[in-house]
Amino acid sequence: MGKNMMAAGAAWLRKMTAEHASESVTYSRAGVGSVVIPDAVIGQTAFRTSDTAKSRLEWGDCDLIVSAASLVIGGQATEPKKNDRFVRMINGAPVEFEVLAPTGEQPWRHSDQFRTHYRIHGKRVA
């Protein structure tokens, strides 16, 4: 069987994004440890929320797109978890985010059909 061109194209795009549109973040889990991820891609997600009468669109504070292989904390490969934290530099100052999403939403999901990357939603805490 021939090479899967979609998988090859997705891998190329991830590589180019990591090389040209990424930054270093520190991801941590309380009581376990932390890891520096040198090639996190920063994004933002729009969430549709509703209360009893209206529906509205809310923007998350910050998303990270990271390779699943880079999320190794305390020597163990792990999936993101609600209440984990990450720190990124904004205008030369460290800014901390907690892994959270609006009510009814998951705090992370796989970013690609091949499940090689996570999209992690963060709420600014400091």
Residue 59's pLDDT is 59
Q: Which two tokens stand for residue 84?
A: 């984990």
43-98 pLDDT, tens digit each: 888 766 666 677 665 656 899 999 999 999 999 999 999 999 999 999 999 999 99
Range of the domain at 110: 5-124
- Read off the pLDDT band of 11 (50, 70, 90): confident
The residue ranking higher by pLDDT, 37 or 10, is 37
| Residue closest to 64 by CA, chosen among 42, 85, 96, 38 | 42
Measured CA to CA, the distance from residue 49 to residue 64 in angstroms comes to 21
DSSP 8-state symbol, 114: T
Measured CA to CA, the distance from residue 57 to residue 55 in angstroms comes to 7
Across 4-26, average pLDDT: 87
DSSP 17-38: HHHHS-EEEEEEETTTEEEEEE
Residue 55's pLDDT is 67
Q: Report the domain count for the chain.
A: 1
